[in-house]
Amino acid sequence: MQVLASKHPGSPLQTRPVWSGGWYKFAHHSPSPNFGPRPPAGTISLVVVHSISLPPNQYGGHQIEEFFHNTLDHNAHPYFKGLEGVKVSSHFLIKRHGELIQFVSCLDRAWHAGESSFKGRSNCNDYSIGIELEGAEYDGTFEAIQYEALSSLCSSLVGEFNITNFAGHEHIAPGRKKDPGAGFAWKLFQRSLGLADSFFPST
């Protein structure tokens, strides 16, 4: 368990763990009702990187959070009509200015991957952690501060869980999903983590 060192002996920071019940201390916690238990014997080994924007290609609103909370106003935009009744979530969202929000405990199963398979193993939601980057569904680029937040989060995830791979939604649901897309800099992400090629998609 990682513990933040404190310059102020006796302060609560000294003993407050970075991870508590699967919740990350440095994220804003905004619990979503959209989750379930992981399979009993399941170990968490995969991180899935996504991108999302609501409405498509528009940034800065709170519609993604509302979507994950089942409170999206479906009359507010024509695109939202198609999302009516759709219940999804991710463990984390990193917004354009680097704000990190956590919706589901990493110990629970968030609903981010859908029908999916990684290295012959289906149902990626069972054994993965989902991270959404606020960005265009594909071909969009991401802000430097989003990479910084993602890198900090993922290095902590690697320290806390038995993570062996990172993949994009496009890699675990090819033909159905295109996010995060060609605009996501996997090499930059890899360099920031200092992990071997074997952790990352071969593209």
Residue 177 CB, nearest approach to Zn ion (Å): 5
Residue 50 CB, nearest approach to Zn ion (Å): 3
Which residue matches tokens 């959209």? 34
Distance (Å, rounded) from C-alpha 182 to C-alpha 6?
40
Print the SS3 string covering 128-152: EEEEEEECCCCCCCCCHHHHHHHHH
Measured in degrees and rounded to the nearest 5, phi and psi for residue 186 equal -60, -40
* Binding segment toward Zn ion, per CB under 5 A, in 29-37, 44-52, 96-104, 142-150: 44-52
Nearer to Zn ion, 51 or 105 (CB): 51
Of the residues 38, 50, 95, 171, which one makes contact with Zn ion according to CB under 5 A: 50
Nearer to Zn ion, 134 or 179 (CB): 179
185's CB contacts (< 8 A; 6+ apart) are: 142, 147
Q: Identify whether the C-beta of residue 102 lies closer than 8 Å to the C-beta of residue 27.
A: yes
134 is catalytic: no
Which residue matches tokens 């409170």? 71
Q: What is the dihedral of CA 1, 193, 171, 74, to 10 degrees?
A: 70
Residue 116 CB, nearest approach to Zn ion (Å): 10
Count the site residues for Zn ion by CB under 5 A: 3
Nearer to Zn ion, 27 or 173 (CB): 173
Nearer to Zn ion, 111 or 147 (CB): 111
Within residues 139-198, the interface with Zn ion by CB under 5 A covers: 169, 179
β-bridge pairing 46-52 and 128-134? parallel
Give the residue among 36, 33, 153 at the shortest CA–CA distance from 94: 153
Q: Tell me which of 132, 143, 160, 170 is the catalytic residue.
A: 132
Residue 179 CB, nearest approach to Zn ion (Å): 4
* Binding segment toward Zn ion, per CB under 5 A, in 47-55, 89-97, 98-106, 138-146: 47-55
Which residue matches tokens 């498509």? 56
Task: Please tell me whether residue 38 binds Zn ion under the rule CB under 5 A.
Answer: no
Residues taking part in catalysis: 132
Residues that bind Zn ion (CB under 5 A): 50, 169, 179
